[in-house]
C-alpha cells in the first residue's frame, strides 16, 4: 500500500468570474518512510498542495488517497479524525498554546481521540523525551527558546504515533545552529521510527537534509528528483 | 478582570431575582400569618353598608347592630360556631398609684374561641357575667405587666374610668399584630358592662360589630349567606333595599391580598430577570470577542483533530463556567442583600432555597444559551484561514 497517492490533483478558486488554478493536474506518490522536501516560490502552489496532503483542504479535481482512503468522501469531522491519527503538523511559528505547559501542549491531540488522562500523561512524557526535552515538561512556551518550542511542537506531532510529519518552514524562525538541531531531529525520527517527513521550504540548505526534492511552479509539479541528483543538477547549473 | 465585568450582569440578575422573591414571599407569608393571628374561618359583621368597592361607608353611621342580633346569629345560623359581639373604647386603667391608658373591649364568652385566644390564668367571661353586667375584667399580658409587675393580678381591684372592676383572668400572649400593634395591650370586659357602665349606647343593645367564627372553612360561604338573610329579616330590610350591615369574609380578603402580593412578587422577579438577560448578552459578547482573539488557537486545535462539537463544547463550557460563577456570586449577594433589606426597611423576608436553586440553574441555562452562538461561530471556522490569522 502506498502511503500517499495524489492523482491529477487540481485546486481551482472561483472569485466572481475569474478562475484561479492554484494547483493543476499534480500527480505524486509517496511511500512510507520517505523524507521529502517541497520547494517553490510563493504562489507556486506548494502550500495549497501541503494543505491537501494534510487533509486540511479538499481538491476540486483529481483524487487524493491517504492509505488507500479517498479523502474526498470524508466529512469535515472524519477529516479531523484522519488528521488526528495520521498527520503531525509542525509550523513555522510553532503554534503552541500559550499559558499552557509543554506537557499539556503535547497532550492536546489526545484530547480529541479519547485517550485516558493517565495514558495521555505517559505518552506525552515519552514524546518529550524523544525530542530531548526531558525536564522541561512544566515550562510554558514563553519560558522556552525557539528551538525548544519547536521541539515541543514536534513532540505534539508524534504523540499519536502518526505515520506522517508535515512541516511548513519549520526552521524559518530559528537561527542556523538551532535549525541544524531540528533538521537532525527530523532525520532521527525518519530513520529510527520510520516516520514519513514531508517538508516545505524555500531554503536549499534545509532541503538538503531530505532525500527527495519536489519543485512546484505556477501550480504545476515541475521536478521530482532524489537529493543526490538534485544537488548534481544545481552544481551543473552553478558551473554554467 | 474582563471576566468579572462580564459576570456582573448575571450577578446582578441572580441577586435581584433572589432578593425580590425573598421580599415578595416574605410579604405574602406575613399576610398568611395575619390570618392565623386573627383566628381562622372568620366573618366580620359591621354596621353600615358596603359600597361596591368594598369600602365600608360611614364607619357605622347607621347604627343598627345589636347584642340580640349576635344571639340570633349564634342560635339560628347552623354554619356558625361562635360569635363575639364588641363594643370598645379607650379608658384609663388605674391600680394603686399606677395608671395605663388602653383599649377596653366589651365582649362575650365567644371571644376566646373566635380569636383562638386562650387564658394564661384565671377564668373567662361567662354568660352570667354578660347577663348581670358584672364588673369583671380580663387583662392582656402587657396591661398586667404594666400595672402589676410581678404581682398576681387575679382578684385585685382595678379602676376603669374610675369604676372598680375585679380582675378575673389574664390572657395568654398574642404578640404583635401585622400592623405592628401590641395585641396584648388590651382589657376585656363583659359587653353589657361596657354598654351600661363604661361607654354608653346610642340605642339599646348597640354593638359596634360582631365577629363570627364559622364551623369550618367550607362553611364560610354558607355562614355568610345565613347571617345576611337573618339580619335582613331582623332589620326588616325589603328585597329591593341594600343591607344596613356588611358581612366580610376575612379569609377571602386576606387571600385576595395574598394573591395580589404574589402577582407583584412574580412581576418583580420578571423585571429582575431582565438583568439576567442582559448578563447573558454580555457573556455572548465576550465569548464572541474571545473566539475572534483565539482564532489561531481554534485553527491549531482543528488541525490537530478537534471535531465540530469538540470546539463547540469547549466554548459553551467556558460560557457556562462564567455564568455559573456569576450565579454563585449573585446567590450570595442576593441572600445577604435580602437580609440587609429586611434589617434596614423592616420588611419581612423569606429566602426560599428553591427559588435560589432555580435562579442558579437559570444562570447556567443562560450560559448555555448565550454561549451557543459564539461556540457555533468558532466551530465553523476554516482551519487553513484560522491558522493564518494574525
Nearest-angstrom CA–CA distance, B121 and B250 = 29
What pLDDT is stored for residue B84 in this prediction?
93
pLDDT of B75 higher than 70: yes
What pLDDT is stored for residue B58 in this prediction?
45
**Residues of chain A neighbouring B290 (CB-CB closer than 8 A):** none
Q: What phi and psi values does residue A113 have, to the nearest 5 degrees?
A: -130, 30
What pLDDT is stored for residue B338 in this prediction?
86
Determine the 3-state secondary structure of B77 from DSSP: coil
Alpha helix ranges (H) inside B109-249: 111-114, 127-132, 141-148, 191-193, 220-234
Query: pLDDT > 90: what percent of chain A?
Result: 78
**Residues of chain A neighbouring B308 (CB-CB closer than 8 A):** 76-77, 80
pLDDT per residue as tens digits for the range B171-209: 999 887 766 788 899 999 999 999 998 888 888 888 899
Give exposure, B241-266, as e/b (b: 16+ Cβ within 10 Å): eebbbbbbbbbeebeeebeebeeebe
Mean predicted confidence (pLDDT) in B162-170: 93
Closest alpha carbon within chain B to A106: B304
Helix-strand-coil split of chain B, %, nearest 5: 55, 20, 25
Return the top range by mean pLDDT from B197-211, B288-302, B340-354. B288-302
Complex ipTM value: 0.91
**Residues of chain B neighbouring A112 (CB-CB closer than 8 A):** 301, 304-307, 310
What pLDDT is stored for residue B346 in this prediction?
74
Q: Is residue B22 within 8 Å of B350, Cβ to Cβ?
A: yes
pLDDT bracket for residue B168 (50, 70, 90): very high
What is the spatial order of strands in the sheet that A4-15 belongs to? A18-30, A4-15, A61-66, A69-70
- Chain A residues whose C-beta is within 8 A of a chain B C-beta are 51, 54, 56-57, 76-77, 80-81, 83-85, 89, 91, 95, 97, 108-109, 111-113, 156, 160
pLDDT per residue as tens digits for the range A189-235: 999 999 999 999 989 999 999 999 999 999 999 999 888 765 555 66
Nearest-angstrom CA–CA distance, A159 and A178 = 22
B297, B307, B384: residue with CB nearest A56: B384
- Reported pTM: 0.69
pLDDT of B294 higher than 90: yes
Q: Is residue B110 within 8 Å of B80, Cβ to Cβ?
A: no
What pLDDT is stored for residue A238 in this prediction?
62
Closest alpha carbon within chain B to A57: B384
Integer angstrom CA distances of residue A62 from A20, A72, A198, A222, B384: 16, 9, 21, 18, 20
pLDDT of B295 higher than 90: yes
pLDDT of B60 higher than 50: no
- Find, among B280, B190, B237, the residue nearest to B64 by Cα: B237
The β-bridge relationship of strands B186-190 and B136-139 is: antiparallel
Task: Look over chain B and give the mean of its residue pLDDT values, rounded to a whole number.
Answer: 85
The C-alpha of A134 sits at a distance from chain B's nearest C-alpha, in angstroms, of 23
Nearest-angstrom CA–CA distance, A198 and B27 = 75
pLDDT of B56 higher than 60: no
* Bigger pLDDT: A152 vs B275: A152
**Residues of chain A neighbouring B386 (CB-CB closer than 8 A):** none
A81, A89, A97: residue with CB nearest B303: A89
What pLDDT is stored for residue B250 in this prediction?
76
CB within 8 Å: B307 and A80:
yes
pLDDT of B343 higher than 90: no
pLDDT of A237 higher than 70: no
What pLDDT is stored for residue A239 in this prediction?
62
Q: Name the least confident of A178-182, B51-55, B211-215, B303-307.
A: B51-55
Residue with cell 326588616: B236
Mean predicted confidence (pLDDT) in B140-169: 91
Closest alpha carbon within chain A to B387: A95
Q: Which DSSP category does A71 fall into?
A: G
**Residues of chain B neighbouring A77 (CB-CB closer than 8 A):** 307-308
* Bigger pLDDT: B149 vs B345: B149
pLDDT per residue as tens digits for the range B231-261: 888 888 877 777 788 888 877 777 777 788 7
Angle at alpha carbon of residue B190, lines to B188 and B191, rounded to 5°? 105
Q: How many Cα atoms are found within 13 Å in the side-chain-facing hemisphere of B35? A: 20
CB within 8 Å: B300 and A97:
yes
CB within 8 Å: A80 and B296:
no
pLDDT per residue as tens digits for the range B297-339: 999 999 999 999 999 999 999 999 988 888 899 889 988 888 8
pLDDT bracket for residue B59 (50, 70, 90): very low
pLDDT of B144 higher than 80: yes
pLDDT of B62 higher than 60: no
What pLDDT is stored for residue B255 in this prediction?
76
Helix (H) / strand (E) containing B328 = helix B308-345
pLDDT per residue as tens digits for the range A39-60: 999 889 999 999 999 999 999 9
- Chain B residues whose C-beta is within 8 A of a chain A C-beta are 296-297, 300-308, 310, 383-384, 387
What pLDDT is stored for residue B137 in this prediction?
93
pLDDT of A65 higher than 70: yes
Amino acid at each position: 500500500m502506498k502511503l500517499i497517492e495524489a492523482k491529477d490533483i487540481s485546486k481551482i478558486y472561483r472569485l466572481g468570474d475569474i478562475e484561479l488554478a492554484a494547483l493543476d493536474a499534480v500527480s505524486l506518490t509517496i511511500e512510507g518512510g520517505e523524507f521529502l522536501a517541497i520547494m517553490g516560490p510563493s504562489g507556486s502552489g506548494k502550500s495549497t498542495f501541503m494543505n491537501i496532503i494534510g487533509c486540511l483542504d479538499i481538491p476540486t479535481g483529481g483524487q487524493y488517497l491517504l492509505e488507500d482512503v479517498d479523502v474526498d468522501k470524508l466529512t469535515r469531522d472524519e477529516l479531523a479524525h484522519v488528521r488526528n491519527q495520521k498527520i503531525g503538523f509542525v509550523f513555522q511559528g510553532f503554534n503552541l498554546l500559550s499559558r499552557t505547559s509543554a506537557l499539556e501542549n503535547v497532550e492536546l491531540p489526545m484530547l480529541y481521540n479519547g485517550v485516558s488522562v493517565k495514558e495521555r500523561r505517559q505518552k506525552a512524557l515519552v514524546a518529550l523525551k524523544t525530542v530531548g526535552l526531558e525536564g522541561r515538561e512544566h515550562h510554558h512556551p514563553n519560558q522556552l527558546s525557539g528551538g525548544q518550542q519547536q521541539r515541543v511542537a514536534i513532540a505534539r506531532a508524534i504523540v499519536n504515533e502518526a505515520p506522517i510529519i508535515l512541516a511548513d518552514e519549520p526552521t524559518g524562525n530559528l537561527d542556523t545552529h538551532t535549525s541544524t538541531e531540528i533538521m537532525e531531529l527530523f532525520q532521527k525520527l525518519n530513520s529510527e521510527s520510520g516516520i514519513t517527513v514531508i517538508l516545505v521550504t524555500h531554503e536549499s540548505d534545509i532541503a538538503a537534509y531530505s532525500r527527495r526534492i519536489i519543485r512546484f511552479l505556477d501550480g504545476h509539479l515541475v521536478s521530482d528528483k532524489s537529493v543526490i541528483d538534485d544537488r548534481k543538477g544545481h552544481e551543473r547549473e552553478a558551473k554554467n | 478582570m474582563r471576566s468579572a465585568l462580564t459576570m456582573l450582569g448575571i450577578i446582578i440578575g441572580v441577586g435581584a431575582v433572589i432578593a425580590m422573591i425573598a421580599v415578595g414571599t416574605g410579604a405574602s407569608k406575613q399576610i398568611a400569618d395575619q390570618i392565623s393571628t386573627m383566628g381562622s374561618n372568620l366573618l366580620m359583621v359591621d354596621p353600615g353598608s358596603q359600597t361596591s368597592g368594598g369600602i365600608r361607608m360611614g364607619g357605622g353611621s347607621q347604627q343598627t347592630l345589636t347584642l340580640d342580633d349576635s344571639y340570633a346569629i349564634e342560635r339560628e345560623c347552623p354554619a356558625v360556631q361562635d360569635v363575639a359581639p364588641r363594643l370598645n373604647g379607650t379608658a384609663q386603667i388605674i391600680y394603686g398609684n399606677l395608671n395605663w391608658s388602653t383599649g377596653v373591649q366589651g365582649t362575650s364568652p365567644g371571644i376566646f374561641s373566635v380569636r383562638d385566644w386562650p387564658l394564661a390564668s384565671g377564668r373567662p367571661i361567662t354568660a352570667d357575667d354578660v347577663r348581670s353586667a358584672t364588673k369583671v375584667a380580663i387583662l392582656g399580658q402587657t396591661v398586667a405587666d404594666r400595672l402589676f409587675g410581678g404581682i398576681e393580678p387575679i382578684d385585685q381591684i382595678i379602676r376603669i374610668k374610675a369604676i372598680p372592676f375585679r380582675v378575673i383572668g389574664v390572657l395568654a400572649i398574642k404578640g404583635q399584630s401585622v400592623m405592628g400593634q401590641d395585641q396584648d395591650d388590651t382589657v376585656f370586659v363583659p359587653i353589657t358592662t361596657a354598654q351600661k357602665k363604661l361607654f354608653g349606647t346610642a340605642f339599646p343593645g348597640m354593638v359596634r360589630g360582631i365577629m363570627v367564627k364559622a364551623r369550618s372553612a367550607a362553611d364560610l360561604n354558607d355562614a355568610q349567606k345565613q347571617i345576611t338573610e337573618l339580619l335582613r329579616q331582623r332589620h326588616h330590610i325589603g328585597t329591593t333595599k341594600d343591607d344596613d350591615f356588611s358581612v366580610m369574609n376575612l379569609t377571602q380578603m386576606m387571600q385576595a391580598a395574598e394573591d395580589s402580593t404574589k402577582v407583584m412578587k412574580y412581576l418583580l422577579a420578571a423585571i429582575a430577570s431582565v438583568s439576567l438577560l442582559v448578563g447573558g448578552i454580555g457573556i455572548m459578547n465576550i465569548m464572541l470577542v474571545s473566539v475572534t482573539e483565539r482564532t489561531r488557537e481554534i485553527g491549531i486545535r482543528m488541525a490537530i483533530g478537534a471535531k465540530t462539537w469538540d470546539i463547540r463544547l469547549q466554548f459553551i463550557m467556558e460560557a457556562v463556567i462564567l455564568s455559573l460563577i456569576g450565579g454563585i456570586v449573585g446567590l450570595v449577594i442576593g441572600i445577604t442583600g435580602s437580609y440587609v433589606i429586611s434589617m434596614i426597611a423592616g420588611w419581612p423576608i423569606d429566602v426560599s432555597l428553591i427559588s435560589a436553586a432555580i435562579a442558579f440553574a437559570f444562570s447556567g441555562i443562560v450560559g448555555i444559551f448565550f454561549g451557543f452562538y459564539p461556540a457555533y461561530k468558532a466551530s465553523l471556522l476554516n482551519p487553513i484561514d484560522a491558522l493564518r490569522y494574525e
